[in-house]
Amino acid sequence: MATGRSTQLTRQVGEHLVAAKLGRMGYVAAPFAGNVPLFDLLAADQRGFTIPIQVKAINGGSWQYQADAFLEIEIVDDFQHVRDKKQLLNPDLVCVFVLLRQDEQDEFYLLTLGDIQKITFGR
């Protein structure tokens, strides 16, 4: 079972690994010490163009997202009904999903918030 400390370490390691990968690609990436809603890193290219990045890291199992962040969901008679997609503030927000592996052969998956919404909605 994950503890608060292990969850915090997983998040921290994931964000720093993404920042390091971006550095190797020529970007300057800065993680934040506290909770910034909507993104975890800011990455900048040589021109100073910046892009916010959301990072989700896990040690195993599955990534967790609140479906109601993407979808209009209604509960009727104890059944969940997905009515529609929600309007996203930034559908182009870059999201990096990191699977931390014991052998350090970590896996990285890149999607936009809009991609995640489409996958979650299923149509």
Express each pLDDT in 11-65 by its tens digit.
999 999 999 999 999 999 999 877 788 899 999 999 999 999 999 999 988 888 8
Burial of 29 (C-beta count, 10 Å sphere; 0-12/13-18/19+): buried
Can you list the positions of beta strands (E) in the chain? 28-31, 41-44, 50-58, 71-76, 79-85, 94-99, 107-112
Q: Which residues contact 23 (CB under 8 A, 6 or more apart)?
A: 29
Express each pLDDT in 86-108 by its tens digit.
999 999 999 999 999 999 999 99
4-62+91-121 has which fold?
Trna Endonuclease; Chain: A, domain 1 (3.40.1350)
Let me know: does 53 contact 41? Beta carbons within 8 Å. yes
Q: How many residues does the chain have?
A: 123
